[in-house]
Amino acid sequence: MTQNIYDDPGFFLGYSQMARSIGGLDAAPEWPALKSMLPPMQGLKVVDLGCGYGWFCRWASEQGAASLLGLDVSQKMLERARNTTRAANIRYEHADLEHIDLPANSFDLAYSSLALHYIKDLPGLFANLHAALKPGARFVFSIEHPIFMAPRNPGWIIDIKGRKRWPVDCYQMEGERVTNWLADGVVKQHRTVGTLLNLLIEAGFDIRHVNEWGPSDAEVAAQPALAEERERPMLMLVGVQR
Amino acid sequence: MTQNIYDDPGFFLGYSQMARSIGGLDAAPEWPALKSMLPPMQGLKVVDLGCGYGWFCRWASEQGAASLLGLDVSQKMLERARNTTRAANIRYEHADLEHIDLPANSFDLAYSSLALHYIKDLPGLFANLHAALKPGARFVFSIEHPIFMAPRNPGWIIDIKGRKRWPVDCYQMEGERVTNWLADGVVKQHRTVGTLLNLLIEAGFDIRHVNEWGPSDAEVAAQPALAEERERPMLMLVGVQR
């Protein structure tokens, strides 16, 4: 069973105050890059793994998707999603992503934003998802980058010229990483880039696109705090095809 | 035209004294992982991009490959290869990998060890290579890992407990990196992992396996200096299929 940190009151409170929680997709700087990896939504049957507040489901519904299934382990997130992002063709369901039980051969697109780094049995999830997707279907997701997640004590260091550097260690040691982000004891699963991609390949997916998101000049101009994300890869956006 | 640093006298002298230059494939710690990604050699027509001293060509010949074409930009390396690793079915040829001119649809396997990070026009090389390979052929290569290559001033830092950390910066800024390794002014081309994989996909290759090499316990026991390579990804080994 994956840790359900989103139902921790302190975590939920902190998360609910983040820009991306208030502002939705457009407040997430990686959204334009992720969106560019998606197929046209018109008529698609879509599943969202870790749907959170339902921002993506609502967007996809507005774009003409035929139906949306949003899955999340957090009851609080689902409650908020049902209250704020509902539409006739969206269904929100409680699910532990380690044990999803979806009908075979039934979705045209799977989407997941920043959820997979919490999953311990990723091979199991990929196998279940592969079976639930139609041949040719896409799976597009974002995940914390292994370089961001690997360090024992993650944090920037400042060099003598005031420039930021991101020290990496423990990269080859895969497994649990416990951080104190919004709440103490948030458990994530570190895997190397190679392992992540090989798990997808072994599950039967074709790798179509890999984007290690970084901000554009315009994004840094609009939001100078993003400049540090030019120094390291913080997120990985991956598009694969069944 | 790619910089031909291997014909720089100081570089060549330094390189010729490295363990992997003296001991061949078995002196390269990543060789077992790279070898495991190769198909059986029996009967294959093989091209080696950046063949150096010809260690791989000789090994492949001994394993039953039908023919070997070793390409290198360094005349000194080719001279040494012709003197020390020749066999009736190996041909060594001078070539700038940015402008290879190979017969179409004629190789079963392409191999390259630690050469591609010198190449500026990698899309051109991948396109030429794709055309030269038969359908279903494999391309297996190693390259310096982008995390290893990205930093402005690459080098370990030691934390207060004496542990090594590898500071990353400039990751998203692709382009030239000039280092002083064996000789001053060695020019390499930094690309992100995403860019490297996307170039392969856009050239028509299927990604089959990605290995960010790290040493095993047995390798660290035999060669304790390798322990630091558990902290960072230093090399990428990639296997693709045409």
Nearest Cα neighbor of A117 from A95, A140, A94, A150 is A150
**Domains within chain A, CATH numbers bracketed:** 5-144+192-241 (3.40.50.150)
Looking at residue A164, what is its pLDDT?
96
**Long-range contacts formed by A191-194: CB under 8 A, 24+ apart:** A191/A122, A191/A146, A192/A146, A192/B212, A192/B233, A193/A145, A193/A146, A193/A236, A193/B193, A193/B210, A193/B212, A193/B233, A194/B210, A194/B211, A194/B212, A194/B236
Looking at residue A1, what is its pLDDT?
61
ipTM of predicted assembly, 2 dp: 0.95
The span from the CA of B112 to the CA of A74, in Å, is 48
Q: Which residues pair with B138 in a beta bridge?
A: B109, B241
pLDDT greater than 90 at residue A18: no
Looking at residue B1, what is its pLDDT?
62
**pLDDT tens per residue across span A170-184:** 999 999 999 887 777
Between B165, B193, B208, which is nearest A168 by CB? Answer: B165
Mutate to test the interface with A, among B30, B145, B193 (most CBs of A within 10 A): B193
Residue that the structure tokens 């079976």 belong to: A131
Looking at residue A166, what is its pLDDT?
97
- Interface check B163 vs A, CB under 8 A: yes
- Interface check A124 vs B, CB under 8 A: no
**pLDDT tens per residue across span A105-158:** 999 999 999 999 999 999 999 999 999 999 999 999 999 999 999 999 999 999
Contacts A173 to B, Cβ<8 Å: 230
Cβ contact, residue pair A168, B168, below 8 Å: yes
Looking at residue B137, what is its pLDDT?
98
Cβ contact, residue pair B171, A212, below 8 Å: yes
**pLDDT tens per residue across span A92-107:** 999 999 999 999 999 9
Between A157, A169, A209, which is nearest B164 by CB? Answer: A169
Looking at residue A168, what is its pLDDT?
98
Mutate to test the interface with A, among B142, B160, B172, B235 (most CBs of A within 10 A): B172
In chain B, whose CA is at the least distance from the CA of A192?
B212
Distance from the Cα of A186 to chain B's closest Cα (Å) equals: 22
Residues of chain B with pLDDT under 50: none
**Chain A from 221 to 240: CB within 8 A of any B CB:** 229-233, 236
**pLDDT tens per residue across span A207-234:** 999 999 999 999 999 999 999 999 999 9
Mutate to test the interface with B, among A165, A226, A237 (most CBs of B within 10 A): A165
Distance from the Cα of B93 to chain A's closest Cα (Å) equals: 33
Q: Which residues pair with A207 in a beta bridge?
A: A240
Q: Which of A16-25, A50-59, B42-51 has the lowest mean pLDDT?
A: A16-25
